[in-house]
Amino acid sequence: MNSQVKKYFSLFFLFLFLFPMVEKEIHALEHKADIHCSATDKHFHSLEHNCSVCDFTNTNTITTPETSSGFIISANDFSFLPFIESSFTSSSFHLLPARAPPIVC
């Protein structure tokens, strides 16, 4: 039973992820015979093709709430520590751990 469920899930995800790629290629094949202008000067053309996929526009039925535009005043306070120069001497490095393993002779 478990192997059957895995097979169905794998087929489902295979079709789920392959569908956009296959649809894109089929759509490109439908427009293979379209003629595209290669002129370099400025001019206008009428609509070359009528395709519901290319001409798709998202119609949002939810209206966005209008916000009142006004002046926004913000203040930023920056606090920083002054740069402190410190010098390390050879005596201060003896507190650091060794960086390499010891050599066995």
Tokens of 40: 């370099």
Domain borders along the chain are 1-33
Coil, helix or strand at residue 13: helix
CA–CA separation, 62 and 59 (whole Å): 9
pLDDT at 1: 66
pLDDT at 3: 87
pTM, whole model, 2 decimals?
A: 0.39
Q: What angle do CA 53, 55, 60 make, to 5 degrees?
A: 95
Over residues 36-89, the pLDDT tens digits come to: 778 888 888 776 667 777 777 677 667 666 666 666 677 676 666 666 666 555
CA–CA separation, 64 and 85 (whole Å): 55
CA–CA separation, 4 and 11 (whole Å): 11
pLDDT at 30: 82
Tokens of 55: 């001409």
